[in-house]
Amino acid sequence: MGNRLSKIYTRTGDDGSTGLGDGSRVAKDSLRVSAYGTVDELNSTIGMVLASDGVGDDVRETLTQVQHDLFDLGGELCIPGMAMVHDADIEQLEQVLDAFNDPLPPLKDFILPGGGMAASCCHLARTVCRRAEREVIALGRVEEVRPQAQRYLNRLSDLLFVISRVLARASGHGEVLWQHERRRKPQA
């Protein structure tokens, strides 16, 4: 574990720079800081899901593990060259995703974000996850990033979509289906 902070503010970032985990300093708007900052934001949105009513123990256990994984991923992105997310973590996501998805009916329509507070928060987490993935890809174009980071986020966004479906159904609100028929072209 790194240094423990007894004083929260240091004033070292007042010039628009921040320290990475390896001690180097970069601009606060660098691609690396954006990537791990969005992973942190994703972790916070998952906290919102967990703070919602009606989250079952299976979802709670899964998302708590994901929060730990995301903290590891943020550390990996904050320390260039560090490896903290591994293939086994991605495989675990796939197994959990399959277990949550198998009992759900097949999708025939697109789903709109909604279906109760927990499901809506999970949809928000899914969209933040997609943004984190895009930012990791952008970072990987200019600096070395292990492929596991991108793969983990890609799989996690799929898992969050499936959990949104599970939460919407469990809440009694149900899934909100996109009504593509509402824009039918008038007959001439």
Q: What is the pLDDT of residues 51-90, one digit of tens each?
A: 999 999 999 999 999 999 999 999 999 999 999 999 999 9
pLDDT value of residue 22:
79
CA dihedral 56, 148, 154, 163 (to 10 degrees): -10
Query: According to DSSP H, which parts of 79-180 are helical?
Result: 87-101, 117-142, 147-171
pLDDT value of residue 186:
67
H/E run at residue 151: helix 147-171
Task: Name the pTM for this structure.
Answer: 0.88
Q: What is the pLDDT of residues 127-186, one digit of tens each?
A: 999 999 999 999 999 999 999 999 999 999 999 999 999 999 998 888 878 877 777 766
